[in-house]
């Protein structure tokens, strides 16, 4: 029952029969995984709001700040991390039952996309999802990490549940755009993490506004500030606003995350600020103040 993924010469995943998921959530110890100091999940209610973009940029920004970072792509339906990091090789085995993560821009990374390249989807059943998440946590040779960032698929489904049941998360980031539909779904994501007793690192507003390249006016495409208001309403920390910036999209599609330009790049500043805020919150949670509730100034 152990070998859900095994790399064969054809590079295809082998799926073994499922086991039922464990009932209880593991307790938060000093390290959620041996050698890993903090695990931060990035989720949202709605699809396409920038989870992967922010997870990838957060991971690379933390690595550029000198931290040891891993990125686990838990979006098994639409793994976009390989594209956004510009990596897509077949990982090597490290010993009999362990897999070596790939590395990009100083970040160790694993994705179903590495095991199943191309456009053919794997049709997953619930218990298989649970197994692949567990294996990505336990059977990847992550080594020592300061932070592991987990990119979740959209919604409040099986994968998030499997993750929470498999490992004690340090906290979760909920990504939303300021639009009402995104916020409605983001509230569900906040509620889901609360029900699963996962601390909320906070809510981040992505595609918050757009600076016109011609007249430099800021345009509130999706009604800026909505996520911050929502965060306050739910007493969840607000982690910052990230503008809608074509350079962010271009950098992502090109496999060179925008934060590589450094924190002084106008295209990356807000993401570095977000990363700093995340670190401060994670330190707070680890220090035992992690109720996900903030003082509202």
Ligand X SMILES: Nc1ncnc2c1ncn2[C@@H]1O[C@H](COP(=O)(O)OP(=O)(O)OP(=O)(O)O)[C@@H](O)[C@H]1O
Binding string to Zn ion for residues 202 to 221, with x set by CB under 5 A, is what?
----------x-xx------
Among 73, 75, 158, 185, which residue sits at the site for ligand X (rule: CB under 6 A)?
75
Query: Should residue 154 be labelled a site residue for ligand X when binding is judged by CB under 6 A?
Result: yes
Q: Closer CB to ligand X, residue 83 or residue 141?
A: 83
Query: Should residue 170 be labelled a site residue for Mg ion when binding is judged by CB under 5 A?
Result: no
Binding string to Mg ion for residues 52 to 81, with x set by CB under 5 A, is what?
x---------------------------x-
Query: Should residue 27 be labelled a site residue for Zn ion when binding is judged by CB under 5 A?
Result: no
Q: Looking at 31-39, 50-58, 125-133, 223-231, which segment touches Mg ion (CB under 5 A)?
A: 50-58
Shortest gap between Cβ of 168 and ligand X (angstroms)?
24
Beta partners for residue 21, in sequence order? none
Q: How many residues bind ligand X (CB under 6 A)?
A: 21
Query: Should residue 242 be labelled a site residue for ligand X when binding is judged by CB under 6 A?
Result: yes
The item of Zn ion, Mg ion, ligand X, none sharing an interface with residue 242, based on CB under 5 to 8 Å by kind, is: ligand X
Shortest gap between Cβ of 233 and Mg ion (angstroms)?
26
- How many whole angstroms separate alpha carbon 149 and alpha carbon 29? 18
Q: Closer CB to ligand X, residue 37 or residue 185?
A: 185
DSSP string, 157-210: SHHHHHHHHHS--SEEEEEE-SSHHHHHHHHHHHHHHHHTTPPEEEEEEES--E
- How many whole angstroms separate alpha carbon 97 and alpha carbon 74? 20
Q: What is the CA radius of gyration of the chain?
A: 18
Query: Should residue 206 be labelled a site residue for ligand X when binding is judged by CB under 6 A?
Result: yes
Contact footprint for ligand X (CB under 6 A): 44, 47-53, 75, 78, 80, 153-154, 206-207, 242, 244-245, 248-249, 252
Binding site for Zn ion (CB under 5 A): 212, 214-215
């Amino acid at each position: 029952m152990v070998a859900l993924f095994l790399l064969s010469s054809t590079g295809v995943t082998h799926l073994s029969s499922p086991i039922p998921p464990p009932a209880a959530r593991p307790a938060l110890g000093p390290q959620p995984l041996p050698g890993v100091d903090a695990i931060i999940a990035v989720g949202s209610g709605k699809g396409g709001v920038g989870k992967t973009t922010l997870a990838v940029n957060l991971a690379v920004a933390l690595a550029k700040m000198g931290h040891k970072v891993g990125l686990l792509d838990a979006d098994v339906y639409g793994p976009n991390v390989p594209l956004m990091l510009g990596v897509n090789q077949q990982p090597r085995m490290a010993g009999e039952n362990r897999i070596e993560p790939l590395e990009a821009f100083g970040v160790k990374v694993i994705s179903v996309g590495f095991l199943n390249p191309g456009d053919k989807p794997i049709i997953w059943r619930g218990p298989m999802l649970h197994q692949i998440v567990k294996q990505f946590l336990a059977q990847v040779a992550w080594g020592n990490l300061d932070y592991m960032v987990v990119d979740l698929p959209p919604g409040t489904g099986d994968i998030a549940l499997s993750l929470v049941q498999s490992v004690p998360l340090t906290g979760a980031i909920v990504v939303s755009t300021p639009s009402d539909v995104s916020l409605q779904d983001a509230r569900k994501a906040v509620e889901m993490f609360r029900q699963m007793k996962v601390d909320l690192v906070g809510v981040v507003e992505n595609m918050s506004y757009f600076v016109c390249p011609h007249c430099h006016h800021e345009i509130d495409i999706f009604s800026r500030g909505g996520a911050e208001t929502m965060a306050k309403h739910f007493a969840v920390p607000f982690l910052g606003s990230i503008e809608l910036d074509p350079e962010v999209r271009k950098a992502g599609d090109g496999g060179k995350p925008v934060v590589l330009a450094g924190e002084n790049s106008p295209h990356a500043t807000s993401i570095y600020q977000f990363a700093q805020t995340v670190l401060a919150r994670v330190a707070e949670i680890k220090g035992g103040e992690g109720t996900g509730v903030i003082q509202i100034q």
